[in-house]
Every structure is written in C-alpha cells, then in structure tokens.
Amino acid sequence: HLACPMNALPRGGPLRSVQDVWEEFSLSFTPAVREVVEFARHIPGFQNLTQQDQVTLLKAGTFEVLMVRFATLFDVHERSLRFLSGATYSLPELQAMGMGELLSSMFDFSEKLASLNLSQEELGIFTALVLVSADRSGMENASLVEQLQETLIRALRSLILKNTPNDTSRFTKLLLRLPDLRTLNSMHSEKLLSFRVDA
C-alpha cells in the first residue's frame, strides 16, 4: 500500500508491482504539483526571480503549499482523513495502516489553520508567502527573494488588519504556521525517503 492522502486510495488491488503503485500514485499527485507551478507563475514578482531560484523554491516549497491547499482533507472534528479519490478513513483505520506522529501533527496543523478562518484572498497571499519562504539554501539572488517575501508579508498584514482590525494576534498566529510547515515538510520527507528505501 501507499498511505499518503495524495494517493487516490491507500491500497490498490492485490499483486501489484512497486512500479505500478508508484505510477498510479504519480498520476494522482502530478496534477496537484502542476497547479502549484501554475500558482507560482501568478505570484506578482515570482517570474522576476532567476530561473534557478524559482526552481529551488518550488522544489523546497511545493509540499508546504500542498499541505496548506489540502489541509481540508483532514477532518478535525470527525478525526478522519479523506484521500484524493474521496475515500475517507477514520483515525484507527489510518493507524492500522501505519500512520502515526506525522498524521497527528498534520491534524494539529489543519486545526490551527482552520481556526484562523482565512478568506480566499488571505489564503492566497499566505500560500504565496509559504512558497517564497521555502528553504533558501543555495539561492542565486537571495536578496531578490527576500524583497518579494517582505512585499508579501506587508500585503498579508495590511489585508488582515483591514479584515479583522480587532483581532491583533491573527496575523502573528498565521505567521507561526510557517515554522510548523517547515517541520511537517521534513517529517514528511523522511516518510517519503523511507518508503523509497523499503520499496
């Protein structure tokens, strides 16, 4: 089986080769990854970064963008997780598939994000910020990326202040989700690596 919600289903039919499992999995996550690339192209200023830096940010940040985009797959109240096909599994079922600490960290993240009740516009700028805040190791033009990050932070802050002027902690709470995403990213990368090694 391949127990990632970006898979259509956690398990396919019997007797399938590792290659088949991966092939089917990539059919299911590739459209989502393409959407991230398309989204990036629409961030004002992203295409002014060097080609190499655009690629570096996308490589480092695509998972984090997808995590924000698909946080709603985690149903915090029902304690269940929906896979891309729509099939939904309860927490005990997921644990029986071998999911554990990462799963519960993702539930926590999704709950915190949902509690902020972001509007579509807020979510859009936040998602752009997530991508531009990705791991910067090996940037060609780090200061250009930093400038874009600052522009996005300012835009997000003024939008949030405008939308919820009486909730002064909302902006800070949102920014604190960035390090959460970084942690989820590295925990998830380990799963991905060990899956490849076991396969």
Task: Report the residue number, 2 or 148, with the smaller CB distance to ligand HEM.
Answer: 2
CA-CA distance, 81 to 97, in Å (whole number)?
Answer: 12
Question: How many residues touch ligand HEM (CB under 6 A)?
Answer: 23
- The residue within the footprint of ligand HEM, chosen from 84, 106, 118, 156 (CB under 6 A), is 106
Determine the interface stretch with ligand HEM among 50-58, 97-105, 117-125, 170-178 (rule: CB under 6 A).
Answer: 97-105
CA-CA distance, 193 to 16, in Å (whole number)?
Answer: 21
Q: Per rule CB under 6 A, is residue 192 in the interface with ligand HEM?
A: yes
Task: Report the residue number, 158 or 183, with the smaller CB distance to ligand HEM.
Answer: 183
Q: Which of residues 118-177 bind ligand HEM (CB under 6 A)?
A: none
* Packed helices 120-132 and 18-41: angle between N→C axes, nearest 10 degrees: 110
Please provide the size of the chain in residues: 199
Task: Report the residue number, 77 or 162, with the smaller CB distance to ligand HEM.
Answer: 77
CB atoms within 10 A of CB 72: 12
DSSP per residue, 116-162: T---HHHHHHHHHHHHHTS--TT-SSHHHHHHHHHHHHHHHHHHHHH
Interface contacts to ligand HEM, rule CB under 6 A: 1-6, 29, 33, 63, 66-67, 70, 73, 98-100, 102-103, 106, 188, 191-192, 195
